[in-house]
Amino acid sequence: MEMVKNVVPWSIRIFISALFLVSAFAKIYPDPSFYFSITKFEYSQLYPMGFSPELAVYFSRVLIGIEFALGFLLLFPFNLKKIVIPATIIMLAVFAIHLSIEIVSGNNSGNCGCFGSLLPMTPLQALIKNILSIGLLVILLLKFSDRMRVNNNFLAITNITTACVLFLFMLIPIQKKTTTMAPVSVETEEPVIPNNTDTTEVKTNDVINDMNATDVKIEEPKGPAKKASGYAKYFPKIDEGKKILCFFAPTCEHCMQTGKDLTELRKVDPTFPEVQIIFMDEAPEEIPAFFKFAGAEYKHMVMDIVAFWTALGNNKDTPGVVYLWNGNTMKFYNGTEGKDKFNKAELKKLVKKESY
């Protein structure tokens, strides 16, 4: 019995500590530069709550820093009963209230973002998790407080918290807002020539621009009536015929794989629509590595992070792939889960259709 009384409080502290540490880490996982993940958290979680883009970049780092700090402090004896555990309960309660509002508002689908993309949870699942965590902490205070060694050291608490918050700002410095770059037309280092093309007729001075320009003009079906897609401000001719518009982050592994899949589709089908990419302004220096992995370079532009998420659309995620026909959105793939995630085989069939 005595052993149980000693083991239980430590088990609760370790469990709640792990929840906070994993939650904090998940919000910056799995992006190597961390910008993609944290901006995704800001756009999907903070903007809908009314945070401005300017305030969100600070709040996100402070919040994640505090989560890290509470996760560590639960393992130390510093002011556990007076400060650390009550502060943890308050933070969980605030999250629970927010989740309750989301559920009452009818937003009980999709990932709540508590554990980022590492452990997707619905708002209801997250609410249950928070309520159970609060219950465990209350039990810890009421039943096992005498079993916790206490060291009244407020300075240690402030130092650990400050260090965690500052670490987030150093790990993910706030970037200056950039202006949207004009589309960049690029060429492939090793142009891909369709299998049914006679390579002996290609002159040495001919240039194939990112596999989108050829000497053979292929007549496309007329398709649906032309309409304004809203993307012409990025690529002027995108509403003419069939086009593929992608929303990628340069270091996103799923985006890189999708780019490679599109290249493979273009290799086997010379009539495959022109591919154009809008990159998030997150580690733009990695774009050459992105194209190297994808196997081809495409006409692209780099867009400010806030503008990128706005252009991608509410409740949508990367990788985003839009199949347009005369400006009509025939298919909008986005994210890595569910029915809307990119489907290479399905897209291949869709672009071959001559009617709609």
Predicted confidence (pLDDT) per residue in 266-287, tens digit = 999 989 999 999 999 888 899 9
Q: Kindly tell me if the per-residue pLDDT of 34 is higher than 60.
A: yes
In the chain, what percentage of residues exceed pLDDT 70?
A: 84
pTM: 0.72
Question: What does the pLDDT look like over 119-141, one tens digit per residue?
Answer: 888 999 999 999 999 999 999 99
Question: What does the pLDDT look like over 301-341, one tens digit per residue?
Answer: 999 888 898 899 877 889 999 999 999 999 999 988 888 99
- Name the fold adopted by 199-352: Glutaredoxin (3.40.30)
Helix (H), strand (E), coil (C) string for the chain: CHHHHHHHHHHHHHHHHHHHHHHHHHCCCCCCCCHHHHHHHHHHHHHHHCCCHHHHHHHHHHHHHHHHHHHHHCCCCECHHHHHHHHHHHHHHHHHHHHHHHHHCCCCCCCCCCCCCCCCCCHHHHHHHHHHHHHHHHHHHHHCHHHCCCECCHHHHHHHHHHHHHHHHHHCCCCCCCCCCCCECCCCCCCCCCCCCCHHHCCCCCCCCCCCCCCCCCCCCCCCCCCCCCCCCCCCCCCCCEEEEEEECCCCHHHHHHHHHHHHHHHHCCCCCEEEEEEECCCHHHHHHHHHHHCCCCEEEEECHHHHHHHHCCCCCCCEEEEEECCEEEEEECCCCCCCCCCHHHHHHHHHCCCC
Q: How high does pLDDT run on average in the chain?
A: 85
**Average pLDDT rounded to a whole number, residues 258-264:** 97
Q: Kindly tell me if the per-residue pLDDT of 28 is higher than 70.
A: yes
pLDDT higher at 338 or 291: 291
